[in-house]
Structure 1
Amino acid sequence: MRTVLNVLNFVLGGFVTTLSWLLATLVSIIFIFTMPLTRSCWEITRLSLVPYGNEAVHVDELNPQGKSVLMNTGGTLLNIFWLVFFGWWLCVMHILTGIAQCVTLIGIPVGIANFKIAAIALWPVGRRVVSVETARAARTANAQRRFQ
């Protein structure tokens, strides 16, 4: 089922959003001061291409022992920079694509996936794209760690 939905996403406009993320990735590679954004751009490019079966998870959920105040502060500053220069137009693109996909009955699940990615587009630094199973296992392990 994931494969069918991923193909449907690609056909109904996912290729446009993926190309936009790829463009943002290439721009972040070109300018030296945006190099820290490149990994986040690439991660969300993959999510935009194949949204079903994958999920964007914050690195603190994947590795709670590796939390660092300095890294979180740097990530926040990069996210603010990202929002001003790239995030807003990628978010708008995902919202418009999602609305266009929701016009048809068959496109509603794909449109909902684009709305989820639109929220991630505003604040992507510090997110990693992992399988749904890995994300679920990380959340379960974190919940068990908190309540023991």
Structure 2
Amino acid sequence: MKFLGNLIWIICGGLISAIGWWVAGILWCITVVGIPVGLQCFKLSSISLNPFGKEVVDEGGAVSCLLNVIWFIVSGVELALGNFLMGCFLCITIIGIPFGKQFFKIAKLSLFPFGAKIIKI
């Protein structure tokens, strides 16, 4: 069931979300200081490609909080807004509600990605 959900997910906008994470990662990797942030973007693009069967757990500390504040100002709002709008669009129909919930999960992760750990359930 996870495979089928992830396959339909890619068609319903998951690929667009992953491309957003990749673009943010590439832009962050332009500078030497931004490389750790860019690598985090590439890691989190994996949940944008196959979110079913994965859970996000917060394990952040002080450094993660600082990076999340910088991230929120520079890149987080754009990615979160795009994912939130896609989630609202998909929740219009009953069939799209599970996919919309995954977009909301990714929108939350888009706001505060540092200190977040992705686990398989």
Q: TM-score, normalised by structure 1?
A: 0.75
Distance in 2, Cα, partners of 1:88 & 1:46: 19
Residue in 2 that maps onto 1:42: 42
Counterpart residue identity of residue 87, structure 1: G
Contact between 1:40 and 1:126, CA under 8 Å: does it hold in 2?
no
| Per-residue Cα deviation, 1:77-126 (whole angstroms, up to 9, x for no partner) | 11111000100010000011111111232211000110111111101012
Distance in 2, Cα, partners of 1:38 & 1:129: 17
1:114 to 100, 103, 108: 103
Q: Structure 2: state its 5+ residue gaps.
A: none
Residue in 2 that maps onto 1:129: 118
What is the number of residues matched between the two proteins? 121
| Aligned residue runs from structure 1 range 54-69, under 5 A | 54-59=54-59
Q: Structure 1: state its 5+ residue gaps.
A: 61-71, 133-148
More helix by percentage: 1
* C-alpha displacement of 1:6: 0.7
| Aligned residue runs from structure 1 range 11-22, under 5 A | 11-22=11-22
Distance in 2, Cα, partners of 1:101 & 1:6: 15
Counterpart residue identity of residue 105, structure 2: K
Identity %: 31
CA RMSD of aligned residues (A): 1.5
Contact between 1:43 and 1:128, CA under 8 Å: does it hold in 2?
no
Distance in 1, Cα, partners of 2:30 & 2:53: 31
Is 1:80 aligned to residue 69 of structure 2?
A: yes
Contact between 1:40 and 1:128, CA under 8 Å: does it hold in 2?
no
Counterpart residue identity of residue 101, structure 1: L
* C-alpha displacement of 1:38: 2.5
Max Rg structure = 1
Residue in 2 that maps onto 1:24: 24
Counterpart residue identity of residue 67, structure 2: L
